[in-house]
Amino acid sequence: MRRHFKQVRQEYLPVINRRIRFLAIIITAGPLVGLLGTVTGMLVTFSGMVGAQGTKFDNMIEGISEALITTQTGLLISIPALVVLSFIIQRRNQLERCIARLEYYNVTLASK
């Protein structure tokens, strides 16, 4: 009987764990991509301050806009993914507890 429950765990839990790992990567990478965009946006801003093309103000605004948009995008990716990750972990833990309870009750009934 325990072998059967072990098979059930091996069938369902690895799929969930793969999704958890994938979301964890997205959550980690989102702010890093935003930070990279912030750095490149600031580089554009500083080069706009020094450059002679167009007005300096337009070049600075372009760089600041790039920095803010990429930061916002990184957060817009990471924050919802964090919420989804929390939900998936909660559901996985519920599934594990349910399987453990079923296993306990079946083993108890079988031993009587």
Q: What is the pTM of this model?
A: 0.75
pLDDT at 53: 65
Environment class of residue 9 by beta-carbon count within 10 Å: exposed (0-12), middle (13-18) or buried (19+)?
middle
CB 24 within 8 A of CB 85: yes
pLDDT value for 57:
78
**Per-residue confidence band for 55, with pLDDT thresholds at 50, 70 and 90:** confident
In the predicted model, what is the mean pLDDT of the chain?
Answer: 88
Residue that is written with structure tokens 């490149």 in the block: 40
Per residue in 65-101, pLDDT (tens digit) is: 989 999 999 999 999 999 999 999 999 999 999 999 9
* Radius of gyration of the chain, Cα coordinates, nearest whole angstrom: 25
14 half-sphere exposure, CB direction, 13 A CA radius: 5
